[in-house]
Amino acid sequence: MVRIHPSILSADFVNLERDLEKIASADGVHVDVMDAHFVPNLTFGLPMVQRIAEVTSLPIDVHLMIDDPDTWAPQYAITGVDTVTFHAEATGDAVSLARELRARGTRASIAVKPGTHVDDVLEHLQEFDMVLVMTVEPGFGGQSFMGDMMPKLEALRGRAEELGIDLALQVDGGITADTLPIAAASGANVFVAGSAVYGHASPADRIVELRAAGKGAFDTGMIDLRAIHRGLAAAGDEATGSLET
């Protein structure tokens, strides 16, 4: 239920194959593509992702922090890439792009920066396999978790429950064994961790710790969320009823 996706942004790029082996027990690998335009930082592009796909058997979760994903994102739907995430702020047509990614055989995911509301995403939630709620401003690893993003997770998880869809809900930024349970209780089930994993002497041990921190928190949070949601639905029904009488 809880998936841990270490971010290689905090790995040693010169020894990337070695650092990928260190996270072999993870559930996926998070690969940050940055263009120095959408975010004030630069990493790498498609050739590097293709090479990573050749040397790892982990499902690859590509996080595109680039301008014009409508043009570039479909090219990342290659063998080994499980999910392509593009930013809501950068796309001209999120629904068309998500459909294009799915048509190419990869899972489609949309990301929102801390300042972006999720209303538009909620409206078209069934078009996406995953939603990434950023819990830091995108661009750099090692920043502090923004707890005030939790209502977005709750709204997204609530809507997914309502629609009966199996939505992956990812959080990225400042995830540690302390912050992970907060996000899990709010409905997140895919956790990106860069500095927490690669900053540890044993990334494999840290993955175990993170997984343990999330176990239970997601289920407990889900029970609460479902109860809250049922309460809201009941209140909504009553309101409708009183209008009708």
Is residue 207 within the footprint of ligand DX5 (CB under 6 A)? no
Helix (H) or strand (E) holding 153: helix 150-163
Which one is catalytic: 19, 32, 35, 61? 32
- Mark residues 21-50: x for contact with Zn ion by CB under 5 A, - for none: -----------x------------------
Helix (H) or strand (E) holding 61: strand 60-65
Q: Is 172 a catalytic residue?
A: yes
Q: 118, 172, 182, 207: which one contacts Zn ion (CB under 5 A)?
A: 172
What's the number of CA atoms in the CB half-sphere (13 Å) around residue 239? 6
Q: 2, 3, 10, 157: which one contacts ligand DX5 (CB under 6 A)?
A: 10
Is residue 195 within the footprint of ligand DX5 (CB under 6 A)? yes
- Euclidean distance between CA atoms 185 and 116, whole angstroms: 21
Q: Which residues, in sequence order, are CB contacts of 97 under 8 Å at separation 6+?
A: 69, 70, 73, 74, 86, 91, 108
- Mark residues 57-76: x for contact with Zn ion by CB under 5 A, - for none: ------x-------------
Give the residue with the Cβ less far from Zn ion, 80 or 216: 80
- Euclidean distance between CA atoms 241 and 235, whole angstroms: 10
What's the min distance (Å) between Cβ of 137 and ligand DX5?
7
Q: 2, 3, 7, 110: which one contacts ligand DX5 (CB under 6 A)?
A: 7
Identify what 143 binds: ligand DX5, Zn ion, none; CB under 5 to 8 Å per kind.
Answer: ligand DX5
What's the min distance (Å) between Cβ of 126 and ligand DX5?
25
Q: Which residues, in sequence order, are CB contacts of 222 under 8 Å at separation 6+?
A: 157, 187
Task: Quote the strand ranges of 88-209, DSSP E.
Answer: 107-112, 130-134, 168-172, 190-193
Give the residue with the Cβ less far from Zn ion, 46 or 165: 46
Question: How many helices and strands, by DSSP H and E, does the chain display?
Answer: 10, 8
Q: 141, 158, 181, 187: which one contacts ligand DX5 (CB under 6 A)?
A: 141
What's the number of CA atoms in the CB half-sphere (13 Å) around residue 19? 22
- Euclidean distance between CA atoms 221 and 6, whole angstroms: 23
- Residues near Zn ion (CB under 5 A): 32, 63, 172
Positions annotated as catalytic residues are 32, 172
- Residues near ligand DX5 (CB under 6 A): 7, 9-10, 30, 32, 63, 136, 138-143, 172-175, 192-196
